[in-house]
Amino acid sequence: MGLRNVEDLIAAGLVTPDERVALERVASKYAIGLTPTVESLIDRSDPADPIALQYLPTAAELIETPDERADPIGDHVHSPVEGIVHRYPDRVLLKVVHVCPVYCRFCFRREMVGPQGDGNLPPAELETALAYIRSHTEIWEVILTGGDPLILSPRRLREIMTALATIPHVKIVRIHSRVPAVDPARINGELIDALKASGKTTYVALHANHPREMSKTVRDACTRLVDAGIAMVSQSVLLKGINDDPDVLAELMRAFVEARVKPYYLHHPDMAPGTGHFRLSIAEGQAIMQALRSKVSGLCIPTYILDLPGGHGKVSIGDGMLSEIEPGRYAVTDRNGDIHHYP
């Protein structure tokens, strides 16, 4: 069942009753969720525990800055129909669900996910979204996201995958999920069979940010997926106080590679409201990437990515696509050669 509200956290001894008022204010805006797996990883003796910091709400979330946005990567401007984000020509996001097994305090979709978020995609809207994919033959890849798609029952996942199976131009289905890391027991034969029902090449992009999240049970869940023929890549967020250290990132990336999960994205933190305490500067991120590169095999190197506010898409910021125009402000070139100022 897990921990779902402030009273649960107090009862579990993870926050103190003194924090109740402030945390209830946080909880009125942003969902709370920890699975038993996550709770068991928290070191209660460490006030700066990198697992706790990812999931336990704090009063710092009440501090918002003018640069922050409710829709930090611009999903809404690229949404032609409910549930679809069509930002790049050959691929779409299909947002099938808006709940998650855990709620990350730095989530870039924190205004959209959770019980008070946008809700699940109703059957009629899902049918419209699938019709959109069917009618756009340039769509090569469908990325199931949300929310966390692997929170759906195997029966619902099978229905979605079976529907995608009938669309010939869709060759790749990618599923973004934290489930293998936060609820690994969910990755069982029934769920894996459902994921394979499309007959398409299927990827699971695992979201994890700290090497302690890659426990034996989590690696075993990855083994079940990969052994079943599902390819895996990783995505992590570079987070102050959690993994902004080349040694921690090296351990995380090696753990991914050992589990046959290819490091894919390291996201610069997005401008989501109330997440300033997790953000570091791009210069700091680039220095960390440089140090990481000097430590590990090329297999362990993710692409350091900035998702441009306003929906202009991802750019790699480890390779000179940006320049500092004044201290703390950058000119960033997007994939079309257009220049944007950041933040």
Please give the C-alpha separations between residue 132 and each of 48, 166, 168, 221, in angstroms, as whole numbers: 46, 13, 14, 33
Question: Nearest-5° angle of CA 103, CA 105, CA 106?
Answer: 115
- Least separation, in Å, of the C-beta of 299 and ligand SF4? 25
Residues in contact with ligand SF4, total (CB under 6 A)?
Answer: 11
Q: Which of 49, 279, 307, 342 is catalytic?
A: 307
136 contact partners, CB below 8 Å, separation of at least 6: 86, 92
- Least separation, in Å, of the C-beta of 26 and ligand SF4? 14
Q: With respect to ligand SF4, which residue has the nearer C-beta, 107 or 175?
A: 107
Is 279 a residue of the active site?
Answer: no
Q: With respect to ligand SF4, which residue has the nearer C-beta, 246 or 273?
A: 273
Contacts (CB under 6 A) with ligand SF4, residues 182-221: 207
- Least separation, in Å, of the C-beta of 169 and ligand SF4? 27
Q: Which of 91, 240, 293, 295 is catalytic?
A: 91
What pairs with residue 115 in β-bridges? none
Q: Which of 104, 244, 300, 342 is catalytic?
A: 104
Distance CA 62, CA 38 (A): 24
Q: With respect to ligand SF4, which residue has the nearer C-beta, 19 or 111?
A: 111
Please give the C-alpha separations between residue 283 and each of 51, 247, 304, 328, in angstroms, as whole numbers: 25, 18, 12, 9
- Least separation, in Å, of the C-beta of 175 and ligand SF4? 12
Q: Largest alpha-carbon pair distance within the chain?
A: 57
- Least separation, in Å, of the C-beta of 148 and ligand SF4? 5
Contacts (CB under 6 A) with ligand SF4, residues 86-145: 100, 102-104, 107, 109, 113
CB atoms within 10 A of CB 215: 16
Contacts (CB under 6 A) with ligand SF4, residues 146-185: 147-148, 178
Q: Are 69 and 309 in contact (CB under 8 A)?
A: yes
Q: Are 249 and 277 in contact (CB under 8 A)?
A: no
Q: Are 6 and 23 in contact (CB under 8 A)?
A: yes
Q: Which residues belong to the active site?
A: 87-88, 91, 100, 104, 107, 109, 270, 307, 314
Q: What residues make contact with ligand SF4 under the rule CB under 6 A?
A: 100, 102-104, 107, 109, 113, 147-148, 178, 207
